[in-house]
């Protein structure tokens, strides 16, 4: 569709300004409306994204029939339904399986075992590093906020034992959790971006490690610096509640005869899906088509790999340690309740991207961004960063940016490795400068007893360091692939 002509649709609203200028005006007003609905009206992001998608589609010339289908005819081919179904068909299974896997690890006591073994290995002097590695490893299958809830008591205990600032232990932990949440599947952000940009999760995992590890090292450096300069006492009420909960859990474990989970078991469960997915990615590059390659790719399919890991967790962390089938079912089902909001936001982001593409707005944006002359990976980062700072939600920033960036890359003949790095740039932008409009800011502040001012000096800057370092590594790697 030529970007210089209005889209050839009928039944929609007429553009006030014809051609590319009109489409760009629609795009700008659509983004402004999205930010207004989320920031000022406080509308739920799922509803806001859907409302803006429909508004942009109609304003750009799409008809009601194109958007929704008709009563007589199935709406499967409609823009809204195809956008929603296309992304959720890829994302929902992965997020669901990953969420259940994380819940089993959490309830089984895997986090405490992981932390205690790392603390024993590194010693009291390097306890902040042990906390950072705990967040990094445990954060792979566990959502960011859940990781804080589970691991915060370990931070309280380490800070109380040493008499040092809570920040010295909390910030490395948070950096590890945030890195995995931003850059690695099965977390919603990178999985959603991979689905929207049609990138293999194996490449996302590989680039997530290559980008995320240097980024988290930079963040740990800042965490060590700020932790020695800002003293925050252990929040006594949270400490007492955590100690009571741990004592109760230990008593229940003794009462049932349930033995503590082993570190090797935790690492096996966490590492299995990553190894299988990476093996499938490398086999598609290194091996000629064969039975062996087909077998490796089957077991490395994200759906299969995560199912295998979940079954391992059920057996090794549950059944073998005396859990009943009812207990496993209850933990799995409960873990899925918070996922609904995430999936709806991701699906609405898919609708937004589909509307941009079908209406011609995406192509107009693509042509305009190409004329700017900035590399696509820089544009992806900047767009995501602006959306993140403006409205606070990393997920909204990612799915919105991916829809805007898609036309910039889909016809460029880019490799999967490069597209995975574009996703890393989008993800890096989505965590920049967490502040008062981000729920994570308040979770960090309240859980660790940090004042708003000190949270800005510690957590907000930590996220910005992680974001900038991640983008810098992704940009450098993009020159090599």
Q: Which pLDDT band holds residue 10 (cuts at 50, 70, 90)?
A: very low
Span between the terminal Cα atoms of the chain, in Å: 30
The pLDDT > 70 percentage for the chain reads 90
Query: In this predicted model, what pLDDT tens digit does every residue of 183-230 receive, in sequence order?
Result: 999 999 999 999 999 999 999 999 999 999 999 999 999 999 999 999
Give the SS3 label for residue 378.
helix
Residue 6 clears pLDDT 50, i.e. is over it: no
Q: Which pLDDT band holds residue 470 (cuts at 50, 70, 90)?
A: very high
Q: Residue ranges per domain, the chain?
A: 85-186+238-336
Are 180 and 136 within 8 A, CB to CB? Answer: yes
Question: What was the pLDDT predicted at 1?
Answer: 40
Are 435 and 460 within 8 A, CB to CB? Answer: yes
Question: What was the pLDDT predicted at 123?
Answer: 87
Residue 427 is inside which H or E element, if any? Answer: helix 416-429
Residue 35 clears pLDDT 80, i.e. is over it: yes
Question: What was the pLDDT predicted at 411?
Answer: 76
Question: What was the pLDDT predicted at 337?
Answer: 86
Return phi, psi of residue 20, to 5°.
-60, -40
Q: Which pLDDT band holds residue 248 (cuts at 50, 70, 90)?
A: low
Question: What was the pLDDT predicted at 258?
Answer: 61
Q: Which pLDDT band holds residue 113 (cuts at 50, 70, 90)?
A: confident
Query: In this predicted model, what pLDDT tens digit does every residue of 358-377 receive, in sequence order?
Result: 888 888 887 888 778 889 99
Q: Which pLDDT band holds residue 7 (cuts at 50, 70, 90)?
A: very low
Query: In this predicted model, what pLDDT tens digit does every residue of 380-439 receive, in sequence order?
Result: 999 999 999 999 989 999 999 998 898 888 877 899 999 999 999 999 999 999 999 999
pTM: 0.89
Q: What is the mean pLDDT of the chain?
A: 88
Closest CA to 412 of 347, 468, 351, 478: 478
Q: Which pLDDT band holds residue 5 (cuts at 50, 70, 90)?
A: very low
**Average of per-residue pLDDT across 287-307:** 95
Quote the CA–CA distance of 48 and 56 in Å, as a whole number. 12
Quote the CA–CA distance of 217 and 149 in Å, as a whole number. 23
Query: In this predicted model, what pLDDT tens digit does every residue of 87-99 receive, in sequence order?
Result: 898 899 999 999 9
Per residue, what are the HEC states of 272-334?
HHHHHHHHHHHHHHHCCCCHHHHHHHHHHCHHHHHHHHHHHHHHHHHHHHCCCHHHHHHHHHH
Q: How far from chain centre, in Å, is Cα 296? A: 26
Residue 9 clears pLDDT 60, i.e. is over it: no
Q: Which of 103-107, 402-406, 469-473 has the highest mean pLDDT?
A: 469-473
Give the SS3 label for residue 433.
coil
**Average of per-residue pLDDT across 134-155:** 91
Question: What was the pLDDT predicted at 215?
Answer: 98
**211 vs 156, residue with greater confidence:** 211
């Amino acid at each position: 569709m030529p970007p210089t002509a209005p889209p050839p649709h009928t039944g929609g609203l007429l553009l006030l300004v014809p051609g590319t200028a009109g489409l760009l005006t629609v795009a700008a007003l659509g983004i402004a409306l999205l930010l207004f609905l989320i920031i000022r009206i406080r509308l739920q992001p799922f509803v806001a994204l859907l409302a803006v998608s429909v508004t942009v589609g109609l304003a750009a010339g799409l008809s009601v029939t194109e958007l929704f289908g008709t009563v007589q005819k199935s709406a499967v081919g409609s823009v809204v339904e195809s956008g929603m179904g296309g992304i959720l068909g890829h994302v929902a299974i992965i997020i669901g399986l990953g969420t259940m896997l994380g819940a089993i690890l959490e309830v089984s006591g895997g986090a405490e075992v992981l932390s205690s073994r790392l603390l024993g290995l590194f010693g009291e002097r390097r306890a902040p590093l042990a906390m950072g590695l705990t967040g990094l490893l445990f954060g792979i299958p566990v959502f960011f906020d859940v990781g804080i809830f589970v691991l915060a008591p370990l931070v309280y205990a380490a800070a109380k034992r040493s008499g040092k600032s809570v920040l010295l232990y909390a910030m490395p932990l948070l950096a590890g959790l945030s890195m995995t949440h931003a850059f690695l599947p099965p977390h919603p952000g990178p999985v959603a971006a991979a689905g929207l940009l049609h990138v293999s999760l194996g490449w996302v995992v590989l680039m997530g490690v290559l980008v995320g590890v240097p980024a988290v090292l930079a963040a740990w450096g800042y965490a060590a610096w700020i932790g020695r300069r800002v003293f925050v006492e252990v929040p006594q009420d949270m400490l007492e509640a955590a100690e009571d909960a741990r004592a109760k859990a230990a008593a229940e474990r003794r009462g049932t005869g349930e033995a503590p989970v082993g570190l090797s078991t935790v690492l096996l469960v966490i590492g299995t899906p990553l190894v299988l997915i990476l093996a499938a990615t490398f086999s598609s590059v290194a091996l000629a088509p064969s039975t062996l390659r087909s077998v490796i790719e089957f077991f490395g399919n994200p759906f299969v790999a995560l199912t295998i890991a979940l079954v391992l967790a059920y057996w090794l962390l549950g059944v073998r340690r005396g859990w009943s089938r009812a207990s496993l079912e209850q933990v799995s089902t409960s873990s899925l309740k918070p996922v609904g909001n995430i999936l709806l936001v991701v699906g609405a982001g898919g609708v937004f991207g589909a509307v941009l593409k079908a209406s011609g707005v995406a192509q107009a944006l693509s042509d305009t961004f190409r004329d700017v002359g900035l590399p696509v990976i820089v544009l992806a980062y900047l767009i995501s960063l602006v959306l993140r700072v403006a409205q606070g939600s990393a997920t909204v920033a990612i799915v919105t940016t991916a829809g805007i960036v898609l036309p910039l890359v889909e016809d460029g003949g880019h490799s999967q490795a490069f597209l995975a790095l574009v996703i890393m740039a989008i993800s890096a932008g989505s965590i920049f400068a967490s502040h008062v409009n981000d729920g994570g800011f308040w979770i960090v502040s309240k859980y660790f007893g940090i004042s708003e001012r000190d949270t800005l000096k510690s957590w907000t800057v930590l996220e910005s360091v992680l974001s900038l370092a991640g983008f810098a590594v992704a940009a450098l790697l993009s020159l090599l692939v």
